[in-house]
Amino acid sequence: MRERTFVMVKPDGVQRGLVGEIVSRFERRGFKVCGMKLMRIQRELAERHYEEHKGKPFYAPLISYVTSGPVVCMVLEGENAVAVVRSMMGKTNPQDAMPGTVRGDLAQVTGRNVIHGSDSSESAKREIGLFFNDYEVHTYDLPYDAWLFE
Q: In sequence order, which residues have a C-beta less than 8 Å from that of residue 54 and are 6 or more positions away?
A: 47
Let me know if 53 is a catalytic residue: no
Catalytic residue among 49, 53, 116, 138: 116
Q: Which of 35, 46, 14, 3 is nearest to 112 (CA)?
A: 14
- 82 phi and psi angles, rounded to 5 deg: -60, -55
Residues annotated as catalytic are 116
